[in-house]
Amino acid sequence: MKKTMFILLALLFLASAYVNLNDPDPLIWVLAYGATAVLFILAALGRADRRISGWYALALGGWMLTMLPGMVDWFRLGTPSITAEMQATEPHIEVVREFLGLLIAVSSLAWLTFTTSREARLG
């Protein structure tokens, strides 16, 4: 069951990396989601390393927290839709989408970290 979940999450993050190829700043997002996918692929292959997934979750979590002011602004606006096309007049759309994407990645990586045995090591 866990291996199936690892594969599904790897596919989710590979798809997320692919979708971000047309982003205004694609490199950082493709690398963020691509690296997350690689960690889940390694886990599916029995090669998970909780140190790497834990530190990567913390790094992405720190990045996510830099977007917290944008999330607060979005809540103050009454949580308007984020499904519209991104425009300069609605900057909250990009911030909220990026925050939520990172939240999914961080949550997934935290789960991977805490479900990987302490003895599991790469190398």
Angle at which helix 50-65 crosses helix 92-115, to 10 degrees, equals: 160
10-38 pLDDT, tens per residue?
A: 999 999 999 999 988 899 999 999 999 99
Predicted local confidence at residue 87, as pLDDT: 62
Distance CA 18, CA 20 (A): 5
In a domain, 123, yes or no: no
Whether pTM > 0.85 for this model: the answer is yes
Give the H or E element holding residue 6: helix 2-19
> Is the pLDDT confidence value at 39 over 90?
yes
In a domain, 91, yes or no: yes
51-106 pLDDT, tens per residue?
A: 999 999 999 999 999 999 999 999 998 988 888 776 656 778 889 999 999 999 99
Instruction: Compute the half-sphere exposure of residue 110: CA atoms within 13 Å on the CB side of its CA.
Output: 10
**Cβ-based neighbour number of residue 109 at 10 Å:** 26
Of 52, 96, 60, 62, the C-alpha closest to 76 is: 96
In a domain, 121, yes or no: no
Contact (CB, 8 A) for 60 and 32: yes
Predicted local confidence at residue 119, as pLDDT: 66
CA-to-CA dists, residue 13 to 82, 92, 98, 117, angstroms: 20, 23, 14, 23
> Is the pLDDT confidence value at 48 over 60?
yes
List of residues 6+ apart from 78 with CB closer than 8 A: none
> Is the pLDDT confidence value at 50 over 80?
yes
Tell me how many domains the chain contains.
1
Predicted local confidence at residue 89, as pLDDT: 64
Give the domain range for residue 107: 2-115
